[in-house]
Amino acid sequence: MSDDTIQYLVLDRCDPTCNMARYYVLSIETSLFGDTSLIRVWGRIGRPGQTRIELYETQSKAVEALETWLKRKCRRGYALRDG
């Protein structure tokens, strides 16, 4: 992944019977100071969400953290958004 490319994963969890429509976004980006960051954004679809930014020493550690969050969210019923 090059520094100028922003890549992200968007996950959804929808269950109309429970009135649940949630999203979770994971992205790895370079911070203003050159650190690698994992940015997580989550909330209800159609609403502004919460954001958490975690800094990592290396890109490989950020990717590890992204994969951990992806597995965790998939276990909770989230699925990658098509497209």
**Residues near 40 by Cβ (< 8 Å), separated by ≥ 6?**
24, 25, 26, 51, 52, 53, 54, 69
| Assigned CATH topology for domain 7-80 | q64v53_bacfr protein fold (2.20.140)
Which pair of tokens denotes residue 19? 């009135």
Instruction: Specify whether the CB–CB gap between 65 and 56 falls below 8 A.
Output: yes
pTM of the model: 0.84
Q: What is the mean pLDDT of each run of 10 residues along the chain (83 residues)?
A: 65 92 95 91 95 94 94 95 75
